[in-house]
Amino acid sequence: MSVVPEAREASTVPVPEAREASTLPVPEAREASTLPVPEAREASTVPVPEAREGHIVAVSPHLDDAALSASVALSAGGVTVATVFTAVPAADWPVSWWDRLTGATSSVQRQRDRLAEDAAAMTLLSAKAVHLDAAEAQYRGGDPDLGPATERLTDLLAEAGEVWLPSAIGGHPDHAFARDAGLRAAAAAGHRQVRLYADFPYVIAYGWPDWVSGVPGATCLDAAFWLAEQIAAAGLDAASLTPAVTRLSPPQRDLKKEVIAAYQSQAAALKLAPEDLAAEPAKLDFELAWRMPLT
Ligand SMILES: [Zn+2]
């Protein structure tokens, strides 16, 4: 995959994607983050001695991603959400572009706010939060060292009956880093398949594709093409993915609204404020994931 076209894509998509564009790392790092992990796949035949059937462990790149993308699955009860990039930046770290967009004057305070928001969201989902304390792209220079996070994830995933990872739609390097760390950990823990959730709201930058919604999209707009291209750009093999579309029931929509509201510092910049949802209720119609074998 070429670096230049992707960077250009990220700079021309709607506002939520600006979050991605603001935090792009050196291009070669991004390339590396989406490479397959053959050595990890070797370990996929290891048994899962302590796995609990049905117990979901979900990996979230940032504080909000898994909960916003897979609220229905994560509300099953007893779910563990392991968030990779949760570190509070150094006291003298300048306020980041994204944090400024969301009205913050201090990235340190904003990250503390987000940690508190995540705790509230996990309470709503009756889920357990685990923070892996890596520094996210806007709070670091260069690539993250995900060795410790991957080790911790391997332990967590060894107890999982189901592993949920981001698919890295939208092109954010942290999402690809988290996914790939999760893939390594899942393989090392003996899993034979994972579920990749469609990163929300990035997946609906152009609305739900017709194959998700079941109705034709807008005139002169092919959201299915865009999503297929995103999957390829994320380094995924579409042929290996089995999609699962969840249509949210009224109670599930209500819960998702509450979860979104819990992440109040992020909602408006993600175009998920109450007025945004009132104007475009279809945003809450579905959640999308894929099953992917690790063999
Ligand atoms: Zn994110």
Report how many domains make up the chain.
1
Q: Are 242 and 291 in contact (CB under 8 A)?
A: yes
Q: Residue 5 pLDDT > 70, yes or no?
A: no
In a domain, 40, yes or no: no
Least confident of 5-14, 93-102, 185-194, 199-208: 5-14
Q: How far is the CA of 199 from the centre of ligand 1 (A)?
A: 8
pLDDT at 30: 35
Assess if residue 18 is contained within a domain.
no
pLDDT of 246-258, one tens digit each? 999 999 999 999 9
pLDDT at 249: 98
Rounded to whole angstroms, what are the CA distances from 197 to 19, 122, 149, 167?
Answer: 19, 17, 20, 6
Residue 12: pLDDT over 50: no
Residue at 74 is within a domain: yes
**6 in any annotated domain:** no
Residue 133: pLDDT band by 50, 70, 90 thresholds? very high
Question: Which two three-digit tokens encode residue 45?
Answer: 């035949």
Centroid of ligand 1 to alpha carbon of 188 (angstroms): 24
Other Cβ atoms less than 10 A from the Cβ of 275: the count is 10
Report pLDDT for 53: 79
pTM as predicted: 0.84
Q: Which domain holds residue 266?
A: 52-293
Is residue 242 in some structural domain? Answer: yes
Contact 132, 63 (CB under 8 A): no
Task: Give 215: exposed, middle or buried? Use CB within 10 Å, 0-12, 13-18, 19+.
Answer: exposed
More confident residue, 8 or 60: 60
User: For residue 147, how far is its CA from the centre of ligand 1 (angstroms)?
Assistant: 20
Beta bridge partners of 245: 288
Q: Could you list which residues have their CB under 5 Å from ion ligand 1? A: 61-62, 65
Rg for the chain (alpha carbons), in Å?
18
Round to whole Å and give the CA distance between 244 and 255.
20
Residue 14 above 60 pLDDT?
A: no
Question: From the CA of 290, how far away is ligand 1's center (Å)?
Answer: 18
Residue 27 lies in a domain: no
Examine residue 31 and state whether it is found in any structural domain, yes or no: no
CATH at residue 253: 3.40.50.10320
Q: How far is the CA of 61 from the centre of ligand 1 (A)?
A: 5
Residue 113 lies in a domain: yes
Determine the pLDDT at residue 50: 63
Res 39 pLDDT > 70: no
- Distance of CA 241 from the midpoint of ligand 1 (Å): 22
Q: Please give the C-alpha separations between residue 256 and each of 53, 67, 211, 250, in angstroms, as whole numbers.
A: 25, 8, 22, 10
- Alpha carbon 223 to chain centroid, angstroms: 19
Say how far apart CA 131 and CA 191 lie, in whole Å. 22
The CA 126 to ligand 1 mean position distance, Å, reads 21
Alpha carbon of 47 to ligand 1 centroid (Å)? 31
Contact in structure between 167 and 180 (CB atoms under 8 Å): no
pLDDT in tens, 260-289: 999 999 999 999 999 999 999 999 999 999
Asked whether 164 and 18 are in contact (CB, 8 A), the reply is no
62 CA distance to ligand 1 middle (Å): 5
Query: What is the percent of the chain where pLDDT is above 90?
Result: 80
Ligand 1 centroid – CA 65 distance (Å): 5
80 C-beta neighbours (distance < 10 Å), count: 19
Contacts of 111 (CB under 8 A, 6+ apart): 86, 87, 88, 89, 139
